[in-house]
Structures are given as C-alpha cells and as structure tokens.
Amino acid sequence: MIKRVCVFASSCDYLEEIYYKDASKLGSLLAENNFEMVYGGSRLGLMWACAGNLKQSGGKLYGVMPERLNDFGVSAKICDEFYLTAGMRERKAKMDELSDAVIALPGGFGTLEEVAEIIVQKQLCYNNKAIVFLNTNGFYDKLIEFMDEIILQKFAHKDAANLYYVSSSPEDVINYLKMYNPEARVFDRDKIYKR
C-alpha cells in the first residue's frame, strides 16, 4: 500500500498560475487522502505550492535538501522531518528510500533527471513504485511523445510504456495512486533485451 509519495517539481516562482493551482490542489488532495509527502525541502515554486498546501491540510511532510542548497536559505521550516545530504546524488537516494511512489509535476532539468532515474530503476526491477506525470497544461506532451518514439524505434521494449502513468489532473493522480498495486509487476525484466 502506498503511504509516502515523493513529489518532484519546479522551484521556480515565475511560472503561469495554472501550474501553481494544480500543485496546490495536489498537495491538499494528498493530505486529504492520507498520503504523506517527500520532496526537496524548498519553500520555492511548485515544490512549495504542493508542500505548503499539504501541511495546511494536515499532511505529514518530509524534506530532503543538499547542504549547498540549504546554505542559500531556501529550506522550508514546516517539515515534520528534514534531512540534509552531502549532494544531489545522496538527496535522490534518500528521497527514494523514504517514498513508495513518485509524482513528477512540471519542472526543469532537475525534475527530468530525477524522474528518469526512477523510471530506469523500475525498468531494472529495483523498485515497483507508481510513477505519475501530472501533465498540467500539456507540459509533458512532447516528453511523452519522445518516450513513445524511444519505444517505437525499439530503444526500449513496448511494455516500457507501462512503467509510468500520465495524468491530466490532480484528482486523477490520487485515483491512480489509490488503485495502484505495488505487488503487480508491470514490466518483466527478462524482456529488456528481447524484441
């Protein structure tokens, strides 16, 4: 059963309002549905919109931040538990350790790198976590199109499309998490090198 959800998201404070609206709604819905949240520990951007609303709705929050970013003074002071790491790699490992599922909100290169690593881990059967893209405003359309092309041209097995789920609303994300069965394998490791 999914309890803690890791949220990857932008730390930008100058995006279109629709992105903050969905991030805020997701945070509230996570708390209302008894999910705890693991995130990058920042009080900036979509990260903060989601985390702040989760806390306002009574949810439990875990922050994980590298020491260098913490030195910039951007850490949130509302986390129930806060972890400092030596660097970004250690941060990702700690977030992975703490969470049962992953949601990627719109974000930049950091978000892309974080969610790509989790997808590869699931492909290689290091985890079987729910992985969800919240595709607010069609933000991830071109990325999903590219991933479909990877599969179409056989750089990944056709079943790799089952490794992640693309959602158009915070409500749909919650429904997917509630229905997800971590015991059911969606990708067979033996298929990785087979056509």
Residue 26 confidence (pLDDT) above 90: yes
**Nearest alpha-carbon partner for 25 in 141, 109, 103, 129:** 103
127 domain residue, yes or no:
yes
**Among the residues of the chain, which ranges form H helices?**
17-32, 45-56, 67-71, 88-98, 109-123, 141-152, 170-179
Q: What's the CATH code of the domain at 115?
A: 3.40.50.450
Question: Left if phi > 0, otherwise alpha if psi is -120 to 50, otherwise beta: which for 162?
Answer: alpha
What's this model's pTM, rounded to 2 decimal places? 0.94
Residue 4: inside a domain: no
Q: What is the span of the domain harbouring residue 79? A: 11-183
In a domain, 195, yes or no: no
Tokens of 179: 């229905």
Mean pLDDT calculated for residue range 140-145: 98
Express each pLDDT in 73-127 by its tens digit: 878 889 999 999 999 999 999 999 999 999 999 999 999 999 999 999 999 989 9
Domain assignment of residue 191, yes or no: no
Tokens of 130: 């729910």
Q: For the residues 9-13, what does the mean pLDDT come to? A: 95
Phi, psi (degrees; rounded to nearest 5) at 134? -85, 105
Whether residue 2 is contained in a domain is answered as no
Q: Cβ distance 115 to 167 under 8 Å?
A: no
Within a domain: residue 192? Answer: no
Angle (deg, nearest 10), helices 17-32 and 170-179: 30
In a domain, 151, yes or no: yes
Count up the domains in the chain and report the number: 1
- Structure-block tokens of residue 141: 């359309």
In a domain, 53, yes or no: yes
Number of H helices and E strands in the chain, helices first, is: 7, 7
